[in-house]
């Protein structure tokens, strides 16, 4: 079974953060952080878990060891997986400005990727419009970069160069309809005249749930 200490050590290296930075955020001594990463201290105080999880961009479930081997594999060192850039939040509601900055990276086992030669990116879901599709706020969504999606598939789309949204895609003739998985959100209709302001940027291939 993958040890929590191994995952913490991998994430610290991956994100290039220092034990001193972690110690400051978690309000502990630097020596305590080293003991977390060596396994000398196996149980991390409940008041420190949220801060540590946020600092290392991982789910609190990782820190408490509530993962099976398959789930834990995604946090192993990069030599055993693919480096996936994580971009600013994707809004599963009305949409959120899509920044072009990378906020971090996650490592996924190569065996988990549907196409090993494709390019991937990740975003964090924020909102409830895709709840009925099992997508909730805080979930990490992994997309394969593409500008073409089949009808009925969930993808990541940019509208007017301002909104990055996660929706289900459908195209009928020259009209594109993006639908939510929550009845309280109306569909977004993109006509032929507005198509130049619309971009498909990814196909959802994987989800890391916080639940």
* DSSP letter string, 142-204: EEEE-S---TT-EEEEEETTTEEEEEEEEEETTEEEEE-SSTTSPPEEE-GGGGGGEEEEEEE
Task: Cite the beta strand spans of 69-119 per DSSP E.
Answer: 81-87, 90-91, 102-109
Instruction: Tell the CATH superfamily of the 4-75 domain.
Output: lambda repressor-like DNA-binding domains (1.10.260.40)
Question: What's the token pair of residue 8?
Answer: 């913490």
Domain boundaries along the sequence of the chain: 4-75, 80-208
Residue 84 backbone zone (phi > 0: left; psi -120 to 50: alpha; other: beta): beta
Q: Tens digits of per-residue pLDDT, 193-211?
A: 887 888 898 999 999 887 6
Which of the following is catalytic: 129, 163, 180, 192? Answer: 129
Q: Tens digits of per-residue pLDDT, 127-185?
A: 999 999 999 998 999 999 899 999 999 999 988 877 788 999 999 998 999 999 999 99
Residue 205: what pLDDT?
A: 95
Q: Which CATH class is domain 80-208?
A: mainly beta
Which of the following is catalytic: 167, 180, 184, 192? Answer: 167
Confidence label for 118 from pLDDT (cuts 50, 70 and 90): confident
Mean pLDDT of the chain: 83
With DSSP H G I counted as helix, E B as strand and the rest as coil, what are the percentages for the chain, rounded to 5? Answer: 30, 30, 35
Confidence label for 45 from pLDDT (cuts 50, 70 and 90): confident
Confidence label for 50 from pLDDT (cuts 50, 70 and 90): confident
Give yes or no: 111 in active site.
Answer: no
At 2, which helix (H) or strand (E)?
none
Give yes or no: 129 in active site.
Answer: yes
Distance CA 113, CA 123 (A): 16
Residue 187: what pLDDT?
A: 94
State the pTM of this model: 0.60
Task: List C-alpha distances in Å: 44 to 15, 59, 64, 209.
Answer: 20, 14, 8, 22
């Amino acid at each position: 079974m993958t040890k929590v200490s191994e995952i913490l050590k991998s994430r610290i290296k991956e994100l290039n953060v220092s034990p001193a930075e972690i110690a400051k955020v978690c309000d502990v001594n630097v020596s305590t952080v080293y003991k977390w990463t060596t396994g000398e201290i196996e149980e991390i105080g409940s008041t420190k878990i949220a801060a540590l999880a946020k600092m290392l961009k991982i789910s609190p479930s990782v820190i408490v060891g509530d993962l099976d081997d398959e789930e834990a594999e995604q946090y192993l060192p990069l030599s055993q997986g693919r480096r996936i850039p994580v971009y600013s939040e994707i809004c599963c509601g009305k949409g959120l400005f899509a920044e072009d900055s990378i906020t971090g990276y996650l490592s996924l086992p190569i065996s988990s990727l549907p196409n090993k030669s494709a390019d991937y990116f990740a975003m964090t879901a924020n909102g409830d419009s895709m709840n009925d599709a099992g997508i909730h706020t805080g979930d990490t969504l992994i997309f394969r970069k593409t500008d073409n999606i089949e009808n009925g598939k969930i993808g990541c789309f940019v509208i007017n160069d301002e909104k990055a949204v996660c929706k289900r895609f459908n195209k009928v003739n020259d009209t594109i309809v993006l639908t939510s998985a929550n009845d309280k959100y109306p569909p977004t209709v993109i006509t032929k005249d507005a198509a130049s302001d619309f971009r498909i940027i990814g196909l959802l291939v994987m989800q890391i749930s916080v639940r």
